[in-house]
Amino acid sequence: MNRNDTIFTEQLLPCGKTFPNRLVKVAMYEHLSPIPGGPPNDFHYELYSAWSKHDWGMIVTGNVQVSQQHLTLGRDMVVPQVLTNQTIQPFQRLAQVMHGDQHSQSLAIMQLSHAGRQSSNILGGRLPFVSPLGPSAVRFGHSKRNEGVISNIFHRLLFQTPKAMSSADIDNVVSEFVRGASLALQSDFDGVQLHVAHGSQFLSPKSNTRTDEYSYHSLLLLSRIVNAIREVVPRDFVLGIKFNTSDYSLFEGSEAKVAQEERALTHLRQVVSWRTVDFIEISGGDYENPEFMLNSSSITSAKNPRQAFFAHFSSKLMKELSSVTSSDQCAPLILLTGGLRSPAHLYTALRSGHAHLLGIGRASVLCPNLPTVLKRRRAAEADLSSDVTPFKPEPDLRFWPSGREPWRCIRKHFPKVKLIGAGVGMAWYVVMIRRLAKERIRRVDDQNGKKFEQQECFEPDYNTRGLGAITKMWVWIDAPELQQTNSISLAIYVLMLVLMWYLYLGSRSFLFDSH
């Protein structure tokens, strides 16, 4: 047997579904719908067909919001209010595209999410200055104080203090998730993943200051959602969760880190004991502190590919699982995501027992055919466990390409604004996701056989840098809503662009900006 074969072995989930290998294209918000959100469109279909041709074990959609009034930055896919043949049809088409041709056995998973207090003003799907719902009335960004008056004003403009959910609101959220799962089921998705990471608001003392049972039993909402979904789906419907290892603490430092890890482990022990979850994705951070988006090279040097971002935590969980549930068919598979960008990262994670499944986000945009590339390298009989060459080079995201930023002196005096989303890095990948979708649309329209060949080799645009990425993310000339626009929506669009651009310019944390 080829010593590199561990990745391409069939996997079995507790629900009974199988899939061909351990490579998972994880959730990435596509930013391809109209600003008020909506169903998938041609851009989504083209995008997902770029992945479905390449033998990924599992493909997960970007977050599909269960509440039309709780989008992230707009352009999210949204679960329709009412499920009818007509509203389900675009999702059916998406599932069909994600399943690829008849030989493909990849699983198509829909990620369901409720943005809660992280839902932004205006872009979040509510009337301006209408509060979103959250566990408690604690504003997003509240823990970062003393950032300056202008910064605070802008941040308050973008994020309102949420309204604490009443028990009726909570019941409603449960039924929204159930509607999301029913949508996935009726659209022929293989399952759903619940997004409980990057700001899991009921689980975190940062955002949950309630005094009712949702405080002392912080998993209560999640358990209600999981149980309610299990009641309406067949046993072989996949149910996964994306879980946070590190947004549990208001404090920083190693003691707090240990305490929050222990809290996360305690939660996961309980989740495992439910015996109703098929896989658990390990991630961390939230949009105030987006650890999940750290540049992989800053954490995992090429010489030390052992440390994927959350590998330490997931290996602890794996050890617990193997001691508690050694032959338990109901034990969930562990999916590790964050910083896996070369063959060595993948093989080391498996051989070191860090995970069963390997989650790939940004590298799947740079290299949508990653499983094919990996197979090709494997066929060359190389020992891939020491191959630290990234599948594709990472972008240079300095804000100004030359390194000599002409307006550095102006920016120094610019009022700083707390991080919005995950900064320049997020913007660059959103632009590349759009490029991947659009290039394919152009080529598919053109019936020329030669162009079809080119379709296979997507090239990211490395000439787009930080400033270009932010501009292109927000100025999308062929955006769906601009195809039939009126002057009021155009004015709102322009106003929003100016605001977003300002926020990025003033953002305190340019994660990928080497200055």
Ligand X SMILES: Cc1cc2nc3c(=O)[nH]c(=O)nc-3n(C[C@H](O)[C@H](O)[C@H](O)COP(=O)(O)O)c2cc1C
Give yes or no for residue 339 binding ligand X (CB under 6 A): yes
Give yes or no for residue 35 binding ligand X (CB under 6 A): no
Give yes or no for residue 192 binding ligand X (CB under 6 A): no
The distance of closest approach from Cβ of residue 449 to ligand X in the complex, given in angstroms and rounded to an integer, is 33
Q: If residue 133 lies in a helix (H) or strand (E), which one and from where to where?
A: strand 133-134
The distance of closest approach from Cβ of residue 195 to ligand X in the complex, given in angstroms and rounded to an integer, is 5
Give yes or no for residue 357 binding ligand X (CB under 6 A): no
- Measured N-to-C along each axis, helices 466-474 and 423-445 cross at an angle, to the nearest 10 degrees, of 60
Give yes or no for residue 362 binding ligand X (CB under 6 A): yes
Give yes or no for residue 470 binding ligand X (CB under 6 A): no
CB 63 within 8 A of CB 119: no
3-state class (DSSP) for residue 392: coil
Assign 3-class secondary structure to 54-106: CCCCEEECCCEECCCCCCCCCCCEECCCCCCHHHHHHHHHHHHHHHCCCCCCC
For ligand X, the binding residue among 292, 310, 399, 512 (CB under 6 A) is: 292
Which one, 53 or 195, has the nearer CB to ligand X?
195
Give yes or no for residue 419 binding ligand X (CB under 6 A): no
Which one, 151 or 421, has the nearer CB to ligand X?
421
Short-list 293, 282, 277, 179, CA closest to 232: 179
Place of tokens 């205006």: 122
The Cα–Cα gap between 1 and 65 comes to: 44
Give yes or no for residue 44 binding ligand X (CB under 6 A): no
DSSP code string of 226-267: HHHHHHHS-TTSEEEEEEESS---SS-SHHHHHHHHHHHHHH
- Select the span of 167-175, 358-366, 407-415, 434-442 touching ligand X (CB under 6 A): 358-366
Q: Per DSSP, which regions of 309-378 are E strands? A: 333-337, 357-360
Give yes or no for residue 123 binding ligand X (CB under 6 A): no
- Select the span of 119-127, 180-188, 288-296, 442-450 touching ligand X (CB under 6 A): 288-296
Based on C-alpha coordinates, what's the Rg of the chain?
Answer: 22
- Binding string to ligand X for residues 424 to 463, with x set by CB under 6 A, is what? --x--xx---------------------------------
- Select the span of 11-19, 140-148, 357-365, 403-411 touching ligand X (CB under 6 A): 357-365
- Select the span of 249-257, 316-324, 333-341, 394-402 touching ligand X (CB under 6 A): 333-341
The distance of closest approach from Cβ of residue 264 to ligand X in the complex, given in angstroms and rounded to an integer, is 16
The distance of closest approach from Cβ of residue 428 to ligand X in the complex, given in angstroms and rounded to an integer, is 8
- Select the span of 37-45, 95-103, 289-297, 396-404 touching ligand X (CB under 6 A): 289-297
Residue nearest to ligand X (CB): 361
> At 504, which amino acid appears?
Y
3-state class (DSSP) for residue 108: strand
Give yes or no for residue 244 binding ligand X (CB under 6 A): no
Which one, 164 or 504, has the nearer CB to ligand X?
504
For ligand X, the binding residue among 95, 229, 340, 367 (CB under 6 A) is: 340
Give yes or no for residue 73 binding ligand X (CB under 6 A): no
For ligand X, the binding residue among 242, 434, 435, 440 (CB under 6 A) is: 242
The distance of closest approach from Cβ of residue 92 to ligand X in the complex, given in angstroms and rounded to an integer, is 21
**Residue 255 is encoded by which pair of tokens?**
């003691």
Compute the residue count for the chain: 515
For ligand X, the binding residue among 15, 197, 272, 321 (CB under 6 A) is: 197
For ligand X, the binding residue among 7, 23, 28, 115 (CB under 6 A) is: 28
Size of the site for ligand X (CB under 6 A): 25
Short-list 113, 94, 281, CA closest to 189: 94
The Cα–Cα gap between 163 and 178 comes to: 22
The distance of closest approach from Cβ of residue 184 to ligand X in the complex, given in angstroms and rounded to an integer, is 15
For residue 475, how many other CB atoms are within 10 A of its CB? 13
> At 221, which amino acid appears?
L
Q: In b/e form, how buried is each residue of 124-158, taking b as 16+ CB within 10 angstroms?
A: bbbeeeebbbbbbebbbbbebeebeeebbebbebb
The distance of closest approach from Cβ of residue 365 to ligand X in the complex, given in angstroms and rounded to an integer, is 7
Which one, 61 or 385, has the nearer CB to ligand X?
61
**Residue 394 is encoded by which pair of tokens?**
């990472």
Give yes or no for residue 296 binding ligand X (CB under 6 A): yes
- Select the span of 22-30, 39-47, 99-107, 440-448 touching ligand X (CB under 6 A): 22-30
CB 366 within 8 A of CB 391: yes
The distance of closest approach from Cβ of residue 139 to ligand X in the complex, given in angstroms and rounded to an integer, is 22
Short-list 343, 199, 351, CA closest to 284: 199
The Cα–Cα gap between 210 and 24 comes to: 36
Interface contacts to ligand X, rule CB under 6 A:
26-29, 62-63, 111, 195, 197, 242, 283, 292-293, 296, 337-340, 360-363, 426, 429-430
